[in-house]
Amino acid sequence: MTHKPLLATVLGERQERPPIWIMRQAGRYLPEYREIRTKAKNFLELCYTPDLATEVTLQPLRRFDLDAAILFSDILVVPDALGQSVRFEQGEGPVLDPVSAESIGALKPERALDHLAPVLETVRRLRAALTPEKTLIGFCGSPWTVATYMIGGRGSTDQAAARLFALRHPDAFAALIDILVATSIDYLVAQLEAGADVVQLFESWALNLDDQAFEARVIEPNRRIVDGVRARVPNAPIIGFPRGAAGNLANYAARTGVNALGLDYATPLDFAARHLPADLPVQGNLDPLRLVAGGAQLDERIDAILAAFQGRPHIFNLGHGIVPETPIEHVAGLVERVKNG
């Protein structure tokens, strides 16, 4: 079997130089992406059109020596597949018709995988197109993060609508989480069966929760997904990325059972050494705006991250998604420095 450095790292094998991929590596900072984007009438159509989604996924690997492709899709294809109205509006981002305690029962988990069939076809095409040493990453949003959009109707700085909903309507909230856990398991298993090597759980809104809420809304649903996926795909490699988890990171890693832990850019570089098992792979964690600014500060921070994690399995990445105004030459320089020093 061809060696896949990134997959091997997720499974606990330290590399001489860390493999690298970049969250949102296929996206608006690339002119070729912007050109493809004009061929779809809206963002969801782009996600659901295998020809276009496959092309977009492969674009960054043609420019940069990245070790992985990540499926081009979005975490909100899951509520869309459940029958909730989801649309992406220019300048506003995702907008959903909020669910209520009464309307959760109208969601249709039984239709979800059929609706997501075009995404799974994209995974199959990517598996066929990628060279053997490249890792293919699938993903979904974690239940709490997806629920915040489903309840609030859009992104939020404090997730107040979902936090209040969970406190005021605990039974309805639990029912929603149950639906999202079951659907996420089915979806991730289908991605692995279609050819994904690794899957990542994006808990993008892990912040703003007290420890009790974090345990119930983040750790427990993610644990259930990890267990559910591995019950059907034994030893499935899974990365967990609980952005903003801060002091809850070690507990998340221990309790969920993920193979590798994504660290956001606010996580101190000595956190892993002080609080995480020495053999736990970590991923991250360059501030995306350092990549925009470039210059000596970028090189210094890259080197500091490499040095901080050199004693453990490490996947170099940003600590959140790349932003549209990122200069392409800065990305090329980042990849070159990580790969070749």
Per-residue pLDDT of 123-154, as tens digits, reads: 999 999 999 999 999 999 999 999 999 999 99
At 196, the amino acid letter reads: A
CB atoms < 10 A from the CB of 170, how many? 12
Residue 328's domain comprises 5-340
Its pTM stands at 0.97
Residues of the chain with pLDDT under 70: 1
Count of structural domains, the chain? 1
Paired tokens of 308: 């901080």
Question: What is the model's pLDDT at position 1?
Answer: 57
Among candidate residues 289, 278, 281, the one with its CA nearest the CA of residue 326: 289
Quick check: 315 and 260 in contact, CB under 8 A?
A: yes
Active-site annotation, residues:
24, 28, 37, 74, 149
Paired tokens of 169: 């309507």
pLDDT single digits (tens) 189-210: 999 999 999 999 999 999 999 9
CATH number of the domain at 59, please: 3.20.20.210
Paired tokens of 86: 């989801």
At 150, the amino acid letter reads: M
